[in-house]
Structure 1
Amino acid sequence: MNFKYVSYLWDEAKAKSLGNNQVDLLIYRSNLLGADLRLTNYGGGNTSCKTTEKHPLTNEPTEVMWVKGSGGDLGTLKKSGLAALYMDRLLDLKKIYRGLQYEDEMVELFNHCIYDLNSKAPSIDTPLHAFLPFKHIDHLHPDAVIAIAASKDGKAINQELFEGKLGWVDWQRPGFDLGLKLADCLAQNPDIKGIILGQHGLFTWGDEAYSSYLNTLEVIEKASEYLASNEGKRRPVFGGVKIQALEKEQRLTQASKLAPILRGLCSSYQQMVGHFTDDERVLQFVNSNDLDKLAPLGTSCPDHFLRTKIRPLVLELAPDEDITDYKKIKEKLIPAFEEYRKGYTAYYEQCKHPNSPKIRDTNPVVILWKGVGMFTFAKDKQTARVASEFYINAINVMRGAEAISEYISLALQEAFNIEYWLLEEAKLQRMPKEKPLSRKVALITGSAGGIGKAIAKKFVQEGACVVLCDNDADRLKGAEEEFEKTYGKDSFSSNVVDVTDNQSIAKLYQTACLAFGGVDIIVNSAGISISRTIEETKESEWDLMYDILVKGQFLISQQGVEILRKQGLGGDIVNIVSKNALVSGPNNAGYGSAKAAQLHLSRLLAAELGKDKIRVNSVNPDAVIADSKIWAGAWAEGRAKAYGVTVEELPKFYASRTLLNEIILPEDIANGVFACVGGLLNKSTGNVINVDGGLAAAFVR
């Protein structure tokens, strides 16, 4: 198949391997459709099939509809994400439907139609699939089709382009009544192969999984081709270029400097995590003459604005604005944020109903910077990234609509009715409780292995996004692969770093700010150990330990504090020190004194940074041998020699000298660090937590 604007992914051999199992074919088709963001966005759209199954009580054949359940994603859909419902019961709901005013009560009744008791909760779009008679149905949000659906002349364009083969239903909030309208449209136009929903999306169908898939692609391909052939004919794209974008590196530098300031301003209600993109489509929009006309209109498709809010905030900053004085920049931006919050509040007050949920966070989700790109802020990285993707979808829609006609957005009242829909509110209330480190970003040095990696794992498990960094590129790559496989790509970012080099550190923090908008927790875990008598210790070895342990902790903290202050959200610095900072052991002058310097530097910073609500605490481990590069080298031999035991005997030796007689693992140190940042010690700073099995000589007091 030759498609230019959509991806034809159907593998006949794969499809044949599924036999005649229509549910498996539904899942296969759904995954293919969800893999192409030009067809539908993450979490958007739904698909269905109708099969004949045995009634569990009578063994009689009964028709069942399998449809994507509430909150799922087509690209990752599995059987557990489907809702399976009796068709006869769904059709019986028509008999008791009381009209548009009582729309919401029908959703509760879907539960009385469930066939598979392991079903996902049925979505609001269930009747839209049930009331169309086709065996396989696709409902997607393709940018090209929505561009037609959201244009002033969309209905006429649809009629001409598809020669009457696609029906049209004007905008209406999804639900039972819209399902009835789709059925009416088909009844009046029995030869159509799909229906465009005004300002919303597309319904297509087929008698088989493949014919439905092919029909869907063909419709979207034709719409895409039409837009492409008309682009630039009426007028230049988005009215032409108004401002030139900065060069790539300059864009990233500017964005990374501003991101923490924006993150702080966006977090006035609740803390947010950020995402930045300078995608070509974004730059084309933000640099255009039409930006000021189109951005205030807002988005059209409900799936778009539910993720992005109805409108973005457009910054009135020059692309090359000097961001050096962050206080000055913040003062310049505060009025724009206050105006946005007032505008959102006015929108709520104007459109609210007596039973509407309380107003939500009034801060922007999408922030546009001319010449630079787009920031998005949400509760976690995935949500912020997806919001960015959705707004790019909205940009595509506006570009296409303006190419063929004139873009029209959804009426504010209709947008509000979706955003503050009681059913949407109920979905939000069902969300699981956030974890202790949700909405937090943690940067951990030396996190490619050992203690650092254990801390990073603990933090991700507790809800944080982490920035992995290490001076060992190969080891860091292994950690990246492990984290992506175990926790997903949105859980982390990474960069090779030399903690003794300011430029390397600046690059590391740039990575953190572009990936997540800033940083909240800084853990200095990078380390080195050399065990020698004083006469054997080389000056170069002494300098190396002080550079990595003391200077490295200082430089990482120094640049990190600047970002924490830009955000104005407080934060944590936790330093992995050692019992050797307090205990005088043999053959340890260089390492022990460097650790003592680390510990006192922690105290000094705690005293200095308290006014900024930045807590500085230390964790003192001892003899953490597992997964440690330090213990893989000469350090283990040196310590074994100092204590008169073999290297193999070291773990047992260290455990035997503790009060608890315990071997200390990297996970134990991670738990100690989490204790400092997990919320229970928010009023503690300047502390030392010993995680050493109990060594009386290392007691602080």
Structure 2
Amino acid sequence: MPQPWSESDAEAFVEIYAAHGVPDDLALRTYSARLLGRVPALVMHGGGNTSVKTTVRDVFDAEVPVLCVKGSGWDLATIEPEGHPAVRLEPLRALRSLRALSDEAMVNAQRQNLMDTTAPNPSVETLLHAFLPHKFVDHTHSIAVCAVADQPNAEALAREIWGGRVGVVPYIMPGFSLAKAAAEAFEQDPSVEGLILLKHGVFSFGDTARESYERMLSLVEAAARHLGKASPTYAALALPGPVAPARAIAGDALAAVRGSLARAAEASGAATRWILDRRSNGEIDRLLADPMLDELARRGVSTPDHVLRTKGWPLVLPPAPTVGALDGWIEEADRRLAAFVDGYRAYFARNDARSAHPKTMLDPLPRLVAIPGLGLVGVGKSSGDAAVAADIGEAWAATVLRAEAVGRFEPIDEADLFDIEYWSLEQAKLGKAADKPLARHVVVVTGGAGVIGLATARAFAAEGAEIALLDLDGVRTRAAAAAVSARALGLACDVTDPASVSAAFARVCETFGGVDVVVSNAGAALTGAMADLSDERLRASFELNFFAHQSVAREAVRLMRLQGQGGALLFNVSKQAVNPGPDFGAYGTSKAALLALVRQYALEHGRDGIRVNAVNADRIRSGLLTGEMIATRSAARGVSEADYMSGNLLGLEVRAEDVAQAFVASARLMRTTGNVLTVDGGAVPAMMR
């Protein structure tokens, strides 16, 4: 819900930013922009824009009227004062006298008049803000307003809902023409508090930041009240949906979708690995259960700029599969995805034919997938991008339901949709940064809350991978995940329990869509001479150091085969597997068995494109080699702890970070399997050859 204006909070912003030389009105602009940006029902992921008209001093110390307007790349939820770059106001207003202005000329004029030429490009709607006379101007893509603005009779509805409080602007693509039309709509009645842009969103304005903000909330609330009157119709859409599938089947279905996307991407020349983000709530479930879902999905996005994140329509798949029905479901998913790709190619061809300048087709894969009984699934090159698509999918579902409750959801048509999707000014918002080496990969690390596990997770995250940590203590594991990245997943998992392993991997698939690399790292060094070991203690060592790795590997291979993209299985084996030490028989024998397991998996799954490699490390400060154990061993050898830890050919202590880099290197060796990479500084008895 939107937050009410707080004078104390506003004053705090003014005081904090005054210490950095920020004028009061820009500080207040920052405060109210954040209030708007933090409400998903108003603004999502860089959408919306805000401005304030003020003055700044130039190099001659003369006061210059400027428009401080949201800059490209800034998000209202977290915007800082520099996110509203200052543009000379009078030259912007002078542009209104022109009969026409190309997009390129508009952008050039805006950049020419920046007070700071290093500032980001001003918003594509800068001129609309400039042509309005008010000091503060706010623009959002409110779900409630869009549900009204996306109606075939939206103008009449606007008059019914807001009366003379708003001007109504027909749909025009953002830019010079829309700015002129908006100014003209305002001038027809300068007493209006805002503008409704059909098929687009809402503007509010005022002499103070508070006035503009509260007008925005009031206009949105009026739309919400109107929608609420239609609650009987809205409730009729609450149709019973399919029974939600068991978690394991949900995870399998998402891994299968990821595989389908990979196959379609390969055929289209696009990147083959994609990250998924599943969403399910009451509104999503109601929409996906609607018999008209396919037709509703094809109508388009709720506000034009969402096409950049989700394309023009979602891929609709069959209801989520049940146990035993996955194979047939995958076949139908592949067929529907192929039809989606063909449909996108046809859409591009139809619309590119009318373009004055031929376009280059973007990849034809969906960015939003609707699966009745499972939810809406965002698709992206990273978990962040997938989350953006999923968030916008949630907003789309909410808008469609509300629009259908009062009439008919009818957003912009295909031609307008194409023009926005292929508009260079909008595409520039997305950025074209190159992927990191392991971007689009999902990495699972067992023993993830331990020293080596956490170091490994951080090393993979630095390479661009999405991270899931599994460990016995859920609280510690979630804390470890938070230390890796904001989007890393931390799960409680007992790797000695196959059911716990399966449930954890299903959660990983629900979160990211699948698994690409597994670092099977969990283990413990149980000590004692073999002849003195109880059967119980020896079996406990094998349960953790052998059978647990088998459970992890078996589940990982099952999912990797389902995805059909290969993958990497990496095991923390230890030098004990090849160079056993006295009184470490329980550990050494179980690790030797693990090394044999590594070779067996490499032998059996090369045909699946799954690479299986091991890391043999020694003398790493961790939960296995504690400070107490280091002190005991160094004393027994009559050397200092430092000399004990660096007792290798290189004379260097080997760190957890070194082991982590060995795992990363193994994951990136695309034509290596059955390999053992030793990380011990050079221990002759443990050399593999």
Question: Is the contact made by 1:340 and 1:364 (CA closer than 8 Å) also made in structure 2?
Answer: yes
Note the 1:6-155 alignment, pairs <5 A.
6-17=1-12, 18-19=14-15, 21-56=24-59, 58-94=60-96, 97=98, 99=100, 102-155=102-155
Is 1:600 the counterpart of 2:596? The answer is yes
Q: State which of 553, 563, 566 in structure 2 corresponds to 1:567.
A: 563
Is 1:259 the counterpart of 2:254? The answer is yes
User: For the residues of structure 1 that align with 2:356 and 2:565, how far apart are their CA atoms?
Assistant: 35
Deviations 1:73-122 (A, max 9, x none): 11111234332211123224445x5626x233311332101113442222
Q: CA deviation at 1:325?
A: 6.0
Deviations 1:464-488 (A, max 9, x none): 11111101234224313423xxx22
The match for 1:644 is 637
Is 1:631 the counterpart of 2:621? The answer is no
Q: State which of 403, 418, 421 in structure 1 corresponds to 2:420.
A: 418
User: For the residues of structure 1 that align with 2:608 and 2:82, how far apart are their CA atoms?
Assistant: 47
User: For the residues of structure 1 that align with 2:325 and 2:616, how far apart are their CA atoms?
Assistant: 37
The match for 2:653 is 663
User: For the residues of structure 2 that align with 1:355 and 1:462, how far apart are their CA atoms?
Assistant: 38
Is 1:507 the counterpart of 2:503? The answer is yes
User: For the residues of structure 2 that align with 1:246 and 1:297, how far apart are their CA atoms?
Assistant: 27
Q: CA deviation at 1:511?
A: 0.9
Is 1:244 the counterpart of 2:244? The answer is no
User: For the residues of structure 2 that align with 1:251 and 1:224, how far apart are their CA atoms?
Assistant: 36
Q: Which amino acid aligns with 1:671?
A: Q
Q: Which amino acid aligns with 1:60?
A: A
CA 1:240–1:11: 2 relative to 1, 3 Å: closer
Q: Which amino acid aligns with 1:50?
A: K
Q: Which amino acid aligns with 2:495?
A: V
Question: Is the contact made by 1:80 and 1:120 (CA closer than 8 Å) also made in structure 2?
Answer: no
Q: CA deviation at 1:667?
A: 0.8
Q: State which of 641, 645, 650 in structure 2 corresponds to 1:654.
A: 645
CA 1:549–1:281: 2 relative to 1, 3 Å: same
Note the 1:253-652 alignment, pairs <5 A.
253-267=248-262, 268-269=264-265, 270=271, 271-317=273-319, 319=320, 321-324=321-324, 326-352=326-352, 353=355, 355-428=357-430, 430-483=431-484, 487-488=485-486, 490=487, 492-625=488-621, 628-632=622-626, 636=630, 639-640=633-634, 643-645=636-638, 649-652=640-643
Question: Is the contact made by 1:30 and 1:47 (CA closer than 8 Å) also made in structure 2?
Answer: yes
Deviations 1:527-579 (A, max 9, x none): 10123233443332221221111111111010111111111111111111112
Q: Which amino acid aligns with 2:222?
A: K
Q: CA deviation at 1:310?
A: 0.9
Q: Which amino acid aligns with 2:466?
A: C
Q: CA deviation at 1:644?
A: 3.0
Q: CA deviation at 1:182?
A: 1.2
CA 1:201–1:349: 2 relative to 1, 3 Å: same
The match for 1:672 is 662
CA 1:327–1:160: 2 relative to 1, 3 Å: closer
User: For the residues of structure 2 that align with 1:22 and 1:423, how far apart are their CA atoms?
Assistant: 29
CA 1:690–1:356: 2 relative to 1, 3 Å: farther
CA 1:673–1:357: 2 relative to 1, 3 Å: farther
Q: Which amino acid aligns with 2:437?
A: P
The match for 2:672 is 684
User: For the residues of structure 1 that align with 2:252 and 2:580, how far apart are their CA atoms?
Assistant: 44
User: For the residues of structure 2 that align with 1:686 and 1:650, how far apart are their CA atoms?
Assistant: 34
TM-score (norm: length of structure 2): 0.93
Question: Is the contact made by 2:254 and 2:514 (CA closer than 8 Å) also made in structure 1?
Answer: yes
User: For the residues of structure 1 that align with 2:54 and 2:240, how far apart are their CA atoms?
Assistant: 56
Give secondary structure in 1 for the equivalent of 2:376: strand
Measured on the aligned residues, the alpha-carbon RMSD in Å equals 2.0
Runs of 4+ in 1 over 4 A off after TM superposition: 633-641
User: For the residues of structure 1 that align with 2:651 and 2:51, how far apart are their CA atoms?
Assistant: 60
Deviations 1:261-286 (A, max 9, x none): 00111233221100111111100101
User: For the residues of structure 1 that align with 2:170 and 2:184, how far apart are their CA atoms?
Assistant: 13
Question: Is the contact made by 1:468 and 1:495 (CA closer than 8 Å) also made in structure 2?
Answer: yes
Deviations 1:583-606 (A, max 9, x none): 132222121122222122111111
Q: CA deviation at 1:381?
A: 1.0
Q: CA deviation at 1:615?
A: 0.6
Give secondary structure in 2 for the equivalent of 1:375: strand
Question: Is the contact made by 1:138 and 1:204 (CA closer than 8 Å) also made in structure 2?
Answer: yes
Q: Which amino acid aligns with 1:694?
A: G
User: For the residues of structure 1 that align with 2:11 and 2:118, how far apart are their CA atoms?
Assistant: 27
Question: Is the contact made by 1:168 and 1:197 (CA closer than 8 Å) also made in structure 2?
Answer: yes
Q: CA deviation at 1:691?
A: 1.2
Q: CA deviation at 1:198?
A: 0.8
TM-score (norm: length of structure 1): 0.92
CA 1:73–1:82: 2 relative to 1, 3 Å: same
User: For the residues of structure 2 that align with 1:390 and 1:77, how far apart are their CA atoms?
Assistant: 20
CA 1:144–1:307: 2 relative to 1, 3 Å: same
User: For the residues of structure 2 that align with 1:289 and 1:326, how far apart are their CA atoms?
Assistant: 23
The match for 2:18 is none
Deviations 1:184-227 (A, max 9, x none): 11111211110011111111011111111111111111111111
The match for 1:696 is 684
Q: Which moved more, 1:102-111 or 1:269-278?
A: 102-111
User: For the residues of structure 2 that align with 1:354 and 1:192, how far apart are their CA atoms?
Assistant: 38
User: For the residues of structure 2 that align with 1:479 and 1:571, how far apart are their CA atoms?
Assistant: 24
User: For the residues of structure 1 that align with 2:62 and 2:180, how far apart are their CA atoms?
Assistant: 28
Report % sequence identity.
Answer: 32
Q: CA deviation at 1:640?
A: 4.8
Q: CA deviation at 1:23?
A: 1.2
Gaps of 5+ in 1: 1-5
Question: Is the contact made by 2:599 and 2:674 (CA closer than 8 Å) also made in structure 1?
Answer: yes
CA 1:476–1:549: 2 relative to 1, 3 Å: same
The match for 1:3 is none
Gaps of 5+ in 2: 16-22, 266-270
